[in-house]
Every structure is written in C-alpha cells, then in structure tokens.
C-alpha cells in the first residue's frame, strides 16, 4: 500500500508532505520489521518503542510513526500525538476499514462480557444473520475458532482489524466484539466504528492499571461517549447504547451518550425488564418484557446472574437490530456452553464440580450464590488473587469466600513477579478477620494442583466444588513465564484420582512437588 494513501486514510494528516513509498507491512514490534515495513513506535509499560527505532531502521523499515520528533532518523518519520491510536487507525486503513462494512456491536463491563457476547452471537445466528464474534477467549469466524491469547484483554489493534477483515471476506454482516478497559485505554479498538454498545456493569477492578475507580469508569465510558462519532458506515443500524438500569454506573454512562439509548434490568425502571427468575441445574428461566413484547426465556447456563446478561443481549438484538423477540428468545435457548463460565465437570463423581472465571469480588459473590443454591450440603471453593494487579481485591475476595462458602482453599492465581506467599497471607488475614479458622474452614496451599486435590478430596455426595479465577485460560504466570495450565483438566485429574480411575494427567506448576 502507498504510504501517502495509508496515512491520509488512516490518520487524516493535513499539510504534511509525504514521501512516495510502498509499505509492505505495519509493525509495532521491531523484531518483526521486514524490508518496507512501517514501524510504529509505542511507549509500553516496561519498554518504549522509540528506543528501538534504530533497530527497526536497520531491519529495513521504510518509514517511522512516532510521538517524539526524530531529527536524526535516516528514513521518513511521521509525528503523531498518540502512537497507540495511530496504530489502530493505520491497521484499519491497511485492511480497508472492515468495521465500516459490518454491523459492529461492542460489549464492555466488569463482569459478564464474554457470556453476553456468546448470547448475542447465538441470537444473531438464530435470526439467520452471518455473524462472527471476537472475545478474550477466542474469535469465532464461521465454523472456525481462533485463540485470541493466554490472558484477558482485547486482542491488539492489528489482530482485531485482521479478524474483522476476515469476517468481511467470508461474507459476514455482523460482528460482536468484547471490549475490555485495557483495550479501550490502549487504543486497541481505535479504527473500530461501533453501531451498538452494550454495558454489563462497572464494579471495582483493574485499579492497579487505572489507579482509581473514577478513571476506570471513565475509560469504560469512552465506548459510549464516542459511539456514533465520525461514522462513515455502509450499514444503516444504530447508533444505540444499551445500558444496565440496575447498575450504579447507569446515570453516569447515560450522561456520556449523545445517541439513542435503551435500558434493561430486573427493576421496573428499565425499558426491558426481566422477572419471575427461576434457577436450577438445567439452567435459568425468566420472563422478558419490553416495548411490544413479553416472552419466556430459557437459558441452558448456570447462574441467575446470567438473566441480566441475557436481557442485555436480547435488548441489543431486538431494539438495536430489529430481531423479533421470539427469535431472540430462541437464540438464547440454543446457545452453547461458554468455556470456563460455570462449566460443569462430569466425571462420574457424586458431587457437583464447576470451573468458573470469577476473579473479582462481585463475580465471586455471584458464582458462590449459584453454588449455594445448587448444593445440598457444603460449598467448597478454590480461589486466589492475581499478582501485579489490584491489591485491594485480595482481602475482599477472601471475605466474600468466607461469607458464602463452607470451606475455602486459597491458592495460586497468576502470581507473576509478586510473592505468592505474601498474596496468600493477605487473603488468609482477610479470612481470619471474618471468622475463618485455618485448618477448619479455610486452607492455604500455594500449589494449585494440590489445592484442587484437597478441595476434591473433601467433597461428598450433595456438595459443590467450584474452582474460581482461571476459567478458560490455558496458562498461569509465574515471574514472566507462562506455564501450561487448564483448571478443567486439573479438576478432571483430581476427580479421577479421588475415584481411583484413569483420567487426565494433572498439569504441573513451579510450585508442584509431584
């Protein structure tokens, strides 16, 4: 692609003479620069891409995009105020602005984003629409599933634009995109032109990165503040904001929107209301009432907290896309399991085993509430708290577990470069302050395989064992190394050991002794 076309279409530069160059690729990683690449220098948390400009030039970069003036650079250098945003806009331009040829629905919030995305995709497909989905778990492109990373953030801008372009090439008309706070703050969705934005909730999370709840909330709000701005869409949908009327963030986020909005919730104040909620081992049922419709909804997923998630998806589809309410209800009833979200593990055991992604106090409360309603006897929970993340969560996670579970095993959950023992000591202190007794109501086992073995060994008929915090993830981070790990495999292995039958091999971690 010609550099002048790429820059003017992507960044809308004016008054700047641009060299006549052919660009072969765009990269923000100097190690991946090829002859003819456009290198975008980005300031990261630990490294600054500006320090690698020389390396990029030696590798053959044809031009540089940077935030700092570079008088001695031997190739053309384009100055921009925000390199991260520039990368997103350039990636969109490189791929022909695929979001302009799709109906793009963004889903953000603290909890429930991935599940709501799955629900929306199922509704769109029930309506006969060719739709794809990009979440922190995976991208679903037709019948093809693409892993989007080891941990939980929106894929980077070039990857998102590439996936959107692939959907366009496959003839898709709609895409559901999970949008994290990191994805917004780091401009990973720059160049994505959204038609509908959905908010699940906003609770305390990621304060290690955003520093305060107010900043975190404002970052989430950007999706709604920018909704409908600078649209050059080829679709006639939206813009529409879909907001949770029951969440404390409702008035704040509604105040940011300059486009139409509609609310959902369990309270009568919402535009689309869910009521008469029923919950059982087979799933959740409720009645959804909105403008011109009242339908029964059946969800084949655990957890009454999924009723608001389903209402969010239904509201976006019915109010935003014109999908008939009955078709939306059919799509919800037909949705498949969401990996690592209240996922039942069946190995012939007499107790209920569940793996869930709950890693915030709010999501842990919801998960344990569901476990309590399923249990005939004890609820046994395994949980931890990630290192290099919001420290205030640690005590709150422990306090929530002590309040709602009968027995708790505190263990590793991505300690990263922090002391695992120190993290667990904070959690143990929080448990003791709420009346927990170590060795009686809670245990501390740094090794997650041993922690799972202990939790499973204590389970009897009618109990519920729930492993929280990792869900779908395929690795655990110690230091700066990602070790292969899957809670579902580990749970199956622990159950097989308890039953004395052949089963999955227990993964090992650096803490493991056997």
**310 touches 200 (CB < 8 A):** no
- The two beta strands, 407-410 and 442-444, are parallel
Whole-angstrom distance, CA of residue 238 vs CA of residue 226: 13
Helices (H) and strands (E) in the chain, counts: 17, 23
Q: How confident is residue 501, by pLDDT bands cut at 50, 70 and 90?
A: very high
Which CATH fold topology does 343-499 show?
3.90.190
Q: Is pLDDT above 50 for 150?
A: no
Q: Is pLDDT above 60 for 207?
A: no
pLDDT in the model for residue 260: 93
Domain 3-93 has CATH 3.40.50.1000: no
Whole-angstrom distance, CA of residue 448 vs CA of residue 509: 8
Q: With pLDDT > 70 as the criterion, what percentage of the chain qualifies?
A: 94
Which pair of tokens denotes residue 468?
Answer: 């929280």
pLDDT in the model for residue 143: 67
138-152, 309-323, 433-447: segment of lowest average pLDDT: 138-152
Q: With pLDDT > 90 as the criterion, what percentage of the chain qualifies?
A: 74
Q: Is pLDDT above 60 for 152?
A: no
Q: At what angle do helices 113-126 and 306-315 cross, to 10 degrees?
A: 50
Please provide residue 312's backbone torsions phi and psi, each rounded to the nearest 5 degrees: -60, -45
pLDDT in the model for residue 209: 59
- Domain positions in the chain are 3-93, 97-334, 343-499
Give the residue-averaged pLDDT of 492-498: 97
Q: How confident is residue 256, by pLDDT bands cut at 50, 70 and 90?
A: very high
Q: How confident is residue 140, by pLDDT bands cut at 50, 70 and 90?
A: confident
140-154, 155-169, 268-282, 435-449: segment of lowest average pLDDT: 140-154
Give the residue-averaged pLDDT of 483-508: 96
**317 touches 111 (CB < 8 A):** no
| End-to-end CA, the chain | 55
29-38, 82-91, 227-236: segment of lowest average pLDDT: 227-236
Tell me the C-alpha to C-alpha distance, in Å, between residue 390 and each of 123, 203, 372, 469, 479. Answer: 35, 13, 27, 14, 17
Q: At what angle do helices 392-404 and 361-374 cross, to 10 degrees?
A: 10
**342 touches 309 (CB < 8 A):** no
Most trustworthy range by pLDDT among 138-152, 203-217, 404-418: 404-418
Whole-model pTM?
A: 0.85
Q: Is pLDDT above 90 for 319?
A: yes
- Which of 272, 192, 183, 271 lies closest to 239 in space, CA to CA? 192
Whole-angstrom distance, CA of residue 36 vs CA of residue 22: 7
- Which of 298, 370, 336 lies closest to 138 in space, CA to CA? 336
- Which of 266, 258, 261 lies closest to 243 in space, CA to CA? 261
Give the residue-averaged pLDDT of 1-15: 75
- pLDDT tens readout for residues 451-491: 999 999 999 999 999 999 999 899 999 998 999 999 999 99
Please name the residue ranges forming H helices in 195-303: 207-210, 213-225, 250-256
Q: How confident is residue 6, by pLDDT bands cut at 50, 70 and 90?
A: confident
Give the residue-averaged pLDDT of 21-37: 93
Whole-angstrom distance, CA of residue 310 vs CA of residue 379: 26
Whole-angstrom distance, CA of residue 32 vs CA of residue 448: 36
Most trustworthy range by pLDDT among 41-55, 202-216, 287-301: 287-301
- pLDDT tens readout for residues 408-419: 999 999 999 999
pLDDT in the model for residue 210: 53
Whole-angstrom distance, CA of residue 430 vs CA of residue 444: 12
**387 touches 416 (CB < 8 A):** yes
pLDDT in the model for residue 254: 95
Q: Which residue has the higher pLDDT, 282 or 233?
A: 282
Whole-angstrom distance, CA of residue 108 vs CA of residue 252: 15
Q: Is pLDDT above 70 for 380?
A: yes
Indicate the DSSP class of residue 43. B
pLDDT in the model for residue 280: 86
pLDDT in the model for residue 362: 87
Q: Is pLDDT above 60 for 234?
A: yes
Which CATH fold topology does 97-334 show?
3.40.1190
Q: How confident is residue 149, by pLDDT bands cut at 50, 70 and 90?
A: low
Give the residue-averaged pLDDT of 78-102: 93
Considering the chain, what is the average pLDDT of its residues? 91
pLDDT in the model for residue 11: 76
Give the residue-averaged pLDDT of 298-305: 92
Which pair of tokens denotes residue 60?
Answer: 């053959």
- pLDDT tens readout for residues 322-354: 999 999 999 999 998 888 999 999 999 999 999
């Amino acid at each position: 692609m010609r550099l002048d076309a790429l820059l003017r279409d992507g960044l809308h530069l004016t008054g700047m003479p641009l060299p006549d160059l052919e660009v072969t690729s765009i990269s923000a990683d100097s190690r991946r620069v090829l002859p003819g690449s456009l290198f975008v220098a980005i300031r990261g948390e630990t490294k600054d891409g500006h320090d690698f400009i020389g390396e990029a030039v030696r590798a053959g970069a044809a031009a540089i995009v940077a935030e700092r003036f570079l008088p001695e650079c031997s190739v053309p250098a384009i100055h921009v105020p925000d390199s991260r945003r520039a990368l997103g806009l350039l990636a969109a331009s490189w791929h022909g602005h695929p979001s302009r040829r799709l109906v793009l629905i963004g889903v953000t919030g603290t909890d429930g984003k991935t599940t709501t995305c799955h629900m929306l995709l199922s509704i769109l497909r029930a309506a006969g629409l060719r739709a794809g989905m990009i979440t922190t778990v995976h991208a679903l492109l037709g019948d093809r599933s693409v892993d989007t990373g080891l941990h939980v953030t929106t894929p980077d801008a070039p990857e998102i634009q590439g996936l959107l372009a692939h959907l366009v090439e496959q003839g898709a008309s709609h895409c559901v995109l999970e949008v994290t706070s990191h994805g917004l703050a780091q401009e990973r969705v720059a160049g994505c032109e959204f038609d509908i934005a959905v908010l699940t909730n906003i609770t305390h999370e990621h304060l290690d990165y955003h520093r305060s709840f107010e900043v975190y909330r404002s970052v989430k709000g950007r999706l709604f503040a920018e909704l409908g701005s600078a649209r050059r869409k080829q679709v006639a949908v939206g813009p529409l904001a879909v907001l949770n009327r029951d969440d404390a963030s409702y008035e704040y986020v509604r105040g940011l929107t300059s486009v139409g909005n509609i609310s959902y919730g369990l309270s009568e104040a919402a535009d689309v209301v869910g009521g008469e909620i029923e919950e059982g081992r087979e799933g959740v049922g409720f009645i959804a009432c909105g403008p011109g419709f009242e339908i029964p909804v059946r969800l084949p997923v655990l957890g009454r907290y999924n009723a608001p998630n389903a209402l969010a998806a239904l509201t976006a589809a019915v109010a935003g896309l014109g999908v008939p309410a009955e078709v939306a209800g059919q799509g919800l009833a037909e949705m498949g399991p969401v990996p690592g979200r209240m996922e039942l593990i069946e190995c012939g055991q007499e107790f209920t085993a569940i793996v869930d992604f709950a890693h915030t106090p709010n999501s842990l409360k919801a998960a344990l509430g569901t476990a309590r309603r399923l249990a005939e006897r004890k609820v046994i929970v395994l949980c931890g708290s990630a290192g290099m993340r919001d420290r205030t969560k640690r005590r709150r996670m422990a306090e929530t577990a002590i309040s709602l579970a009968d027995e708790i095993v505190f263990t590793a959950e991505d300690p990263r470069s922090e002391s695992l023992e120190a993290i667990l000591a904070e959690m143990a202190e929080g448990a003791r302050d709420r009346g927990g007794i170590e060795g009686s109501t809670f245990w501390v086992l740094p090794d997650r395989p041993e922690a799972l073995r202990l939790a499973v060994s204590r389970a009897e008929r009618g109990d519920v064992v729930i492993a929280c915090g990792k869900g779908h993830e395929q690795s655990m981070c110690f230091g700066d190394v990602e070790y292969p790990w899957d809670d579902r495999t580990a749970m199956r292995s622990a159950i097989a050991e308890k039953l004395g039958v052949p089963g999955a091999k227990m993964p090992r971690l650096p803490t493991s002794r056997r």
